[in-house]
Amino acid sequence: MIAGALTASCLALVPSVAVAAPPPHAHASHHHSHPAKHDTLGDLAKRAGIKFGAAVNTDVLATDAKYRHLVGTQFTSVTPENVMKWEVVEPEQGVYDYTAADQLVAFAKQHHQVVRGHNLVWHNQLPAWLTSGTFTAAQLRDILHQHITAEASHFRGKIQQWDVVNEALNDDGTFRQDIWYNAYQELTGDGTGYIADAFRWAHQADPHAKLFYNDYNLEFTGVKSDAAYALVKQLKSEGVPIDGVGFQGHLDTQYGYPDLQNNLQRFADLHLQVAMTEVDVRTFVKQNADGTYSDTPATPADAQKQIDYWTNTVKACLAVKACKSFTTWGVSDNYSWIPGVFTGEGAGLLYDQNENPKPQYFAVADVLRHAHGHHRH
Ligand code: G3I
């Protein structure tokens, strides 16, 4: 029964006609200056000149029809939340499994969406054969080369933006001394050398994909953002094929709102694209009577802050010409990574635990609707 309903609803989604809302074209075609209330985030973002994306959990996409409907209609870009990561794609050395990622790429094509590839090099979610194997530094460099070449070649022509290197920096602005850094340190005396190699190898494998450095906390002015700035400036000056910087945007109402627009702009001034790649705005939430998480912010002030952080983040991207992609890290709070990692916090996304739009959804939609007519192209 569920499979049947899912198939029916999928077919109904092509081409981009909302089921839960009146068909957008019926309104939009009559009132160009007053876009219909039920336009999707993707529709509104398109008029504002940017892609609006979501990170997608492919297990949920296959089993939850409401989620699948939202992913297929609301967004113009998708990022695999996990299934392009090393542990999934190369579970045994030299044995590649692109099944889940290929399914998402096919879904994206069917729904006229672009794909952000995430990611080629990271310290996390590496397969056990790699982390518990005994390899020389030279072997590790070859393993990295082979992995990047295989994966970027497999998806050649299908990825708009690749997060080539993810989270290479610590919060204090030093380089993370992970498996790649340590191997290159031993081989060449420069632990950071894997970064330039990764971009060069990715470019060889997929010359048309835009290649990004992606990290968190770059939104805030400070040592980490400065270190990322110095890194990408250096890469550019060496002719390394880097096209952009991804600002993850994992925000939290317990901290002040970051100096985001200025930080986006200074990276853009290096002639790089910028993108908001993993946005969510978490806050402390009330507990349900049975001790489980509710989706209700602890105070009304927190709830308002979440809305403000969301709208300010979208406005910052719209204000910077080089920012043409805005992605939320998930769709709805019921599947978000946040409660599993930050005790007592949650409610980070635009849709609630029942996959219904929250006030921040409507606030973001209003910001995008307002941007209509601004000359961004
Ligand atoms: O696949 C296994 C499954 O086989 C096993 O039964 C289950 C039991 O825990 O775990 C599953 O793996 C989980 C995986 O997500 C896939 O669901 C891992 O435990 C879990 O740790 C992993 O979390 C992901 C996290 O990255 C890992 O660091 C989150 O879903 C994902 O949202 C998160 O995404 C990162 C970005 O890639 C980079 N920036 C930060 C962002 C949030 O942490």
At 17-46, the pLDDT tens digits run 333 343 344 344 334 444 455 799 999 999
pLDDT value of residue 63: 98
The tokens of 189 are what?
């005396």
For residues 347-354, average pLDDT? 98
**Each residue of 186-211: pLDDT tens digit?**
999 999 999 999 999 999 999 999 99
Is the model's pLDDT at 359 over the cut of 80? Answer: yes
Contact between 189 and 130 (Cβ < 8 Å)? no
Task: Give, using CA atoms, the residue closest to atom 32 of ligand 1.
Answer: 337
> Under 8 Å CB-to-CB from 59, ≥6 apart: which residues?
none
pLDDT value of residue 372: 63
User: Of 90, 151, 167, 345, which one is the catalytic site residue?
Assistant: 167
Is the model's pLDDT at 326 over the cut of 60? Answer: yes
pLDDT value of residue 11: 30
**Each residue of 101-154: pLDDT tens digit?**
999 999 999 999 999 999 999 999 999 999 999 999 999 999 999 999 999 999
Is the model's pLDDT at 95 over the cut of 80? Answer: yes
- CA dihedral for 229, 235, 238, 240, sign (positive or negative): negative
CA of 330, closest atom in ligand 1: 32
- Asked about 278 being catalytic, the answer comes back as yes
Task: Give, using CA atoms, the residue closest to atom 11 of ligand 1.
Answer: 82
For a mutational test of ligand 1's pocket, the pick from 78, 327, 329, 337, i.e. the residue with the most ligand atoms closer than 8 A to its C-beta, is: 337
Higher pLDDT, 20 or 167: 167
Split at pLDDT 50, 70, 90, the class of 376 is: low
> Under 8 Å CB-to-CB from 250, ≥6 apart: which residues?
216, 278, 279, 280, 282, 329
Average pLDDT, the chain: 91
- What pTM, to 2 d.p., does this model score? 0.90
Q: Compute the distance between CA of residue 180 and CA of residue 211 in angstroms, rounded to an integer.
A: 19
Task: Give, using CA atoms, the residue closest to atom 34 of ligand 1.
Answer: 81
Distance 125 CA to ligand 1 centre (A): 8
Task: Give, using CA atoms, the residue closest to atom 43 of ligand 1.
Answer: 337
**Each residue of 5-19: pLDDT tens digit?**
333 333 332 333 333
- CA dihedral for 301, 302, 307, 309, sign (positive or negative): positive
Query: Apex CA 179: angle with CA 175 and CA 183, to 5°?
Result: 90
User: Of 81, 90, 219, 278, which one is the catalytic site residue?
Assistant: 278
Unique residue bearing structure tokens 């349900």: 288
Pocket lining for ligand 1, CB < 6 angstroms: 81-82, 124-125, 166, 248, 278, 337
Task: Give, using CA atoms, the residue closest to atom 17 of ligand 1.
Answer: 82
- Asked about 167 being catalytic, the answer comes back as yes
Distance 59 CA to ligand 1 centre (A): 12
For residues 237-246, average pLDDT? 99
Distance 72 CA to ligand 1 centre (A): 22
